[in-house]
Chain A
Amino acid sequence: MTAPIIEARELAIGWSRDAVLVEHASFDVHAGEIFGILGRSACGKSTLMRAMIGLEAPLDGDLTIAGMRMRSLEGERPVFGVMFQQGALFGSMTVGDNIALPLERWTDLPAAAIRAMVRAKLRLVGLEGAEEQLPATLSGGMRKRAAIARALALEPSLLFLDEPSSGLDPVTSAELDRLVATLAHGLGLTVVMVTHELGSINAIVDRCILLDRDTRSILASGTPRELRDSAHPRVQHFFNRVPEAA
């Protein structure tokens, strides 16, 4: 196994000390793997990801990315790309301008080179010809593909995806999973993915942690197969889609 690119030790996250979502969270994400953060709604999956990308300060513990302690990245060239749940494309800009934005900010490439890179990124995610379209004219799946293209604009080695399948039909969701897996393996990306979609977990996740909102902790960690085979009743509830009261 490769060296960890992300190391979390005794991490506590939440809105305040009185509203902790996850505590004592320790895990590693290794270079080149697709790592899943799983759990039921409101268990703190997205908040954990927000802490990992510097949008929320952890309440406690240590979090390092590529050996550097995590902090706000405002004003610095980002070392990772992020795709938010609804894509978060800038509605007033075309898809092409959305992807060009980080390139214009952080490189001194001429406009023609930036446009060429934008076209290449769009081809990479299967959105050729969408350069001049406004995000509002795209379908949910296309919007997420465009958001992935923007997240990859600066060639990061680490990609964060927040609920990539949410709001998508099963076929589109599976196509997006395949795209993520193809990009991860083809570009050598490390992918951290927040999800509760069993289809995505089984299809592309290499290793994962399962968060539990009742104990506010990591309930289980390992490969999806190891978690599916776990004897822990709550893990079973999650993977077998059984209501806990049943």
Chain B
Amino acid sequence: MATWQITRRDGLLELAGELRIADAGAIWNTLDRLTADPGPRLDLDLGQIAAIDGAIMALVVDVRRALAARGAHSEIVAAPSNIQPIVHLYRGDEPTPIVARPIHERAIARFGATVETALQGFRRLATFAGELVASVAMIVRRPAVAGWRAIPSLVTRAGTDGIPIVLLLDFLVGFVTAYQATRLLRIYGANIYIADMIGVSMTRELAPLMTAVIISGRSGAAFAAELGTMKVSDEIDALRTMGFAPTPYLVIPRIITLAIVAPVLTLLGDVIGVFGGLVVAVTSLDLTSHAYIAELRGILVPSDVWTGLVKSVAFGIAIAVIGCRHGLATRGDATGVGRGTTATVVSCLFAIVIIDTMFTVLFRGFGL
């Protein structure tokens, strides 16, 4: 049986009994229901309360705040002397300063804030692009300002350490793509064309795309987290005070690293993906490996491979720029680092698809 009761009578909300945290959910729902239509004034009568703990007092104070935000005046009245200290402690006896704004004003303000946020984002992006260009110019003038020494370890982390997962996933992509095609190829008696399909699709599209997705998740996110952590722990500011410019020192080496690593990993992906197709061809389509390779050599032209590699360089640069940009834009604490890392992965995937589309159309335009 409930030990508390909340009733509404005209402009008065009467709270009675013992109000404890154990009943907070039910009390919250009741308060919410009874204050849905507050009118111009709705006072909270605590005169019948036998006991109230801090949790429920917090809810009562919040009800006052919510009422004020909706333009309804509200006071706590008739609080018995034994609960007055907790009312005072939770500032339930102070005037609520929040004044409701007309709905249309809030909508305009929200729209304005959205536009302002978008413009600020665009300005920050443009500033970052400008900084990159200025950094390249600075490096050309004074090569020592760039963090060249970091590149070998970055290549190891982004490239060498990523080889196993690239090999595994690109093998599976080649294998699965080939496996999906086996039924149709058999029906039409076109088993040998498995080599054509896998060869062209892996080199031109699947290996660059899949490898870029893996690099986004591994290196893009790592760059954002690393630079974001440096930002929130003042390490970037420390670099500045020692006369280092963060963009040439931290960003440019990462861009160079992924511009090197992405095509190398993609090339490995090409080979292993084609091998995945070979496994299916031999085991499910009764082809010999000789026949598969001979067909592959007949159909693949150099542009199939290098167009994929060119795309992968663009993917690598985009991933590094996005990761570093989100990392350096990190604010606050660990939450900000997490937010930047998530935003990096999402932005990278978006950018990869856009860049892929652009290059595909461009290459087709050039007859490649």
Contact = CB atoms under 8 A, between A and B. Distances in A.
Nearest to B142: A75
A191 to B, nearest CB: 15
A75 B234 contact: no
A51 to B, nearest CB: 12
A105 B242 CA distance: 9
A230 B173 CA distance: 76
A150 B234 CA distance: 14
Interface stretch (A25-33, A76-84, A121-129, A179-187): A76-84
Contacts of B238: 82, 84, 88-90, 150
A88 B237 contact: yes
Interface in B228-245: 229-230, 233-235, 237-238, 240-245
Contacts, number: 61
Nearest to B241: A82
A74 B235 contact: no
A154 B6 CA distance: 70
Contacts of A75: 138, 142, 145, 243, 245
Contact-size category for B: 10 to 19
A102 interface: yes
B234 A84 contact: yes
Interface in A83-99: 84-86, 88-91
A55 B237 CA distance: 7
A78 B235 contact: no
Q: Is the interface of A mostly helix, strand, loop or mixed?
A: loop
Contacts of B237: 50, 55, 82, 84, 88
B234 A105 contact: no
A78 B230 contact: no
A89 B230 CA distance: 9
A106 B239 CA distance: 13
A53 B142 CA distance: 24
A82 B235 CA distance: 11
B234 A101 contact: no
Nearest to A74: B245
B240 A73 contact: yes
Interface residues of A, number: 27
A74 B233 contact: no
Contacts of A84: 234, 237-238
Nearest to B145: A75
A53 B241 contact: yes
A91 B245 CA distance: 19
A72 interface: yes
Contact of A86 (B233, B242, B246): B233
B234 to A, nearest CB: 4
B114 to A, nearest CB: 19
B233 A77 contact: no
A242 to B, nearest CB: 20
Contact of A90 (B138, B145, B235, B240): B235
A106 B234 contact: no
Interface in B33-59: none
B243 A105 contact: yes
Interface string B65-84: 00000000000000000000
B190 to A, nearest CB: 54
Interface string A52-80: 01110000000000000000111111101
A82 B242 CA distance: 8
A80 B243 CA distance: 10
B240 A105 contact: no
Contacts of A82: 237-238, 241
Most buried by B among A55, A80, A88, A150: A88
Given A88-B233, A106-B243, 19 more contacts: A53-B241, A72-B240, A73-B243, A74-B240, A74-B245, A75-B138, A75-B142, A77-B243, A78-B241, A78-B243, A84-B234, A85-B234, A86-B233, A88-B238, A102-B242, A102-B243, A105-B144, A150-B238, A154-B242
Interface of A: 50, 53-55, 72-78, 80-82, 84-86, 88-91, 101-102, 105-106, 150, 154
9 contacts: A73-B240, A73-B243, A75-B243, A82-B241, A85-B234, A88-B235, A91-B229, A105-B144, A105-B244
Interface of B: 138, 142, 144-145, 229-230, 233-235, 237-238, 240-246
- Ranked nearest first, the 6 interchain pairs of A and B with the lowest CB-CB distance are A88-B234, A88-B238, A84-B234, A74-B245, A82-B241, A102-B242
